[in-house]
Amino acid sequence: MALVMSNFVSLSFSPDQQSWNKLIKKQVLKGNAWQAIQSYVDMQESGLSADNFTFPILLKAVGGSSYFCLGLELHGQTIKTGFADHAYVQTALVKMYSSFGRIDDARKMFDKMPRKDSVAWNSMLDAYASNGQMDIAMELFDAMPVKDLSSYNIVVSGFAGEKRIKSARNMFDKMPVRDVVSWNSMILACINAGDMVEALALFEEAPQKNVITWNTMIMGCVQDQLYTEAIDLFCKMKAGNVEPDYLTVTGALSACAHLRSLETGVKIDMYARNHGQASSPHVVTALIDMYAKCGSIQNSLEVFYKSEDKDIYCWNAMISGLALHGHGTSALKLFNEMRENGMKPDDITFIGLLSACSHAGLVQEGCQLFGFMERDFKITPKIEHYGCMVDLLSRAKLLNRAFQFVETMPFEPGDSILGALLSACVIHQDVHTGEKVVKLIRKKGNNRLSDGEYMMFSNLYASCGRWEEANKWRSMMNDSGIVKTAGCSTIEVNGKLHKFLAGELGFDQE
């Protein structure tokens, strides 16, 4: 959409001008970037032009979207209207270019600014930090005439994004003052670096916690597979003075899904309903996933069809849920329904569909889907799609065909693909194909094998009654000093989650 350029430049702040600015700003704050641009066009057609308040709002609207060409047009119009030299507009241009990853263009704008306030310096600093250029960011930080709290927070956040926990901690310790953003950034740095012990220690130490603090910690626990801890945090948050939001609920439901904890999941579902969060597409997706993984596909379908605002993630979750429960035909019907509703499938959609075909034994349908996902939908198959196809063929006892599929893959097969194929060979007692897979696994790992691989090799021969070879692999595992990892289980008793290891006499409460 080309932007109209009015011949009339209004430098006064008329009531009409202020009304347009308020309208455009309101639309931008609501995330309606396209409506804001359309309002700007309407404003020009009414005889008014943008001013030094309008341009920063518009540049924020196009920043980071798919409207880079509009951003260039707006830049041109700031020059024509004489607002390009205004500090607010120049800073907004720096932010606009950096949001599109055009850091060099942002720097050119920054260097041209005759007067740079702290907002301008921080905007340029954030441009480098947000794009992972922390060495240049530190050069700029050191050159800043005045560093405020935002400057320090930007640097800590930048290091957090790069998983450079030591650098983040050094800057955090140097801060003259800290706010909740500082603590959140440092906690995130620890989580990103995989140091959950330090993250939890910082969380407990933080003098003030907002909803972002809690959400960061909960999602960090989920990411690190500390699911019971994530649910405990959710319960503590509810009991405190910070109210959970839809992201908190989404994280807690994800933890329940991994633990297969239906009782706790239902309680969180009720909380979401009572607090007006059940309509969020994020929560809807998490609820569909949780109920499906906890064995209640009927509740998943109920949540799905009651939701009025379904995005691609909701559809994908429902297709994956049906796949998990072996309802392949229903998943394919839902896919057709999805297309009828004008929803465009993505790569995750096809992972769910191929998985559905695999679990339901729909070999022909799965092969057809794999064939036209790229042809009809321009989706290039990823290793996950190839993995689904190997699983589909393996379950159908087409093991030699599955092995040929692995050999023709455009990427190196991962451990999960080879493991699934070898497991199928064990189940179907196909030692011929199994030995081919063994060679691939040994070659891939340079003969360094895990306890699971040793046991799988042994099981392959044992399944065919070839005990001498089976015992040989067990002996090789023992001689290598590898000990089989103990299994760990989590159970729910009276609403509380307990975890125990195989071989323990009792279980410990978490």
Per-residue model confidence as pLDDT tens digits over 412-467: 887 788 888 888 888 888 788 877 877 777 777 656 666 666 777 777 778 777 78
414 or 66, which is more confident: 414
The values of phi and psi at residue 489, to 5°, are: -130, 155
Q: In this structure, are residues 468 and 484 in contact, taking their beta carbons and an 8 Å threshold? A: no
Do the Cβ atoms of 356 and 323 come closer than 8 Å? Answer: yes
Cβ-contact 499, 228 below 8 angstroms:
yes
Out of 143-152, 240-249, 279-288, 490-499, pick the least confident. 490-499
pTM of the model as a whole: 0.77
pLDDT (average), residues 209-228: 96
| DSSP output for 195-259 | -HHHHHHHHHH-S---HHHHHHHHHHHHHTT-HHHHHHHHHHHHHTTS---HHHHHHHHHHHHHH
Q: Which helix (H) or strand (E) holds 381?
A: none
Count Cβ atoms below 10 Å from residue 366 Cβ, excluding itself: 25
Which pLDDT belongs to residue 18?
79
d(Cα 48, Cα 29) in Å, to the nearest integer? 22
Stretch 63-90: mean pLDDT = 79
As a whole number, mean pLDDT of residues 190-212 equals 95
Residue 6's pLDDT band (boundaries 50, 70, 90)? Answer: very low
Higher pLDDT, 438 or 13: 438
CA distance 471 to 457: 10
Which band of pLDDT confidence, cut at 50, 70 and 90, is reported for residue 224? very high
pLDDT of residue 114: 86
Q: In the predicted model, is pLDDT for residue 233 greater than 80?
A: yes
**276-305: average pLDDT:** 95
Is residue 184 helix, strand or coil?
Answer: helix
Ordered by start, the domain boundaries in the chain are 310-381, 387-448, 455-510
pLDDT of residue 489: 59
What is the length of the chain? 510
Mean pLDDT, rounded, for 113-134: 91
Task: Look at residues 142, 193, 136, 204 and name the one whose alpha carbon lies nearest to residue 169.
Answer: 193
**Are the CB atoms for 324 and 289 separated by under 8 Å?**
no
Mean predicted lDDT score pLDDT of the chain: 85
> What pairs with residue 496 in β-bridges?
493
Contacting residues for 409 by C-beta, under 8 A, at least 6 apart? 383, 386
Question: What does the pLDDT read at residue 39?
Answer: 82
CA 361 to chain centre: 31
- What pLDDT does residue 45 have? 80
| pLDDT value at 8 more than 50 | no
How big is the CA angle at 91 (ends 90 and 94), to the nearest 5 degrees?
Answer: 90
- 9 falls in which pLDDT band (50, 70, 90)? very low
According to the model, what pLDDT value does residue 5 have? 47
Residue 198: band (very low, low, confident or very high) from pLDDT cuts 50, 70, 90 = very high
Asked if 462 and 432 touch (Cβ cutoff 8 Å), the reply is no
Q: Which residue has the higher pLDDT, 430 or 181?
A: 181
Stretch 117-138: mean pLDDT: 93
Q: What is the pLDDT of residue 61?
A: 78
Tokens 């350029």 correspond to what residue?
Answer: 5
> How far apart are the C-alpha atoms of 235 and 255, rounded to whole Å?
13
Partners of 42 in the β-ladder: none
Q: How far apart are CA 363 and CA 346, in angstroms?
A: 21
